[in-house]
Homo-oligomer: A and B are copies of this chain.
Amino acid sequence: MNGYYVVLITVPVDKGEELSNFIVENKLGACVNVVPEVNSVYWWKGNIEKDKEALLVVKTSAQKFKELLEKVKSVHPYTVPEIIALPILAGNPDYLNWIEDSLK
């Protein structure tokens, strides 16, 4: 499987840095941008909940996604964490190669 993904992950506000370090240190992603605080509104067990979260924007390869999914789920504080992948359709070739090299 080739190609590259932008993966979106939300976490509690105080866990953003810890999880982004975990992802990069374990070569699950080449780079993570953490949007420090977003206001989230969502359904949970029949109620509408509101929380402040951090939004992680992870750049990785399609090949790494399965491993990223399993390992992030294993350390994430939520039972059903948001871990969703958007396809990168085109990009700076040097940057895409850098993603590849950073994940080796």
Contact = CB atoms under 8 A, between A and B. Distances in A.
A48 interface: yes
B83 A91 contact: yes
B53 A55 contact: no
Contacts of A86: 6, 86-89
Interface residues of A, number: 54
A57 B55 CA distance: 10
Contact of A84 (B10, B38, B95): B95
Given A5-B89, A84-B88, A86-B86, 12 more contacts: A6-B8, A10-B33, A20-B39, A25-B48, A32-B41, A32-B42, A33-B39, A33-B55, A62-B90, A65-B90, A80-B94, A83-B92
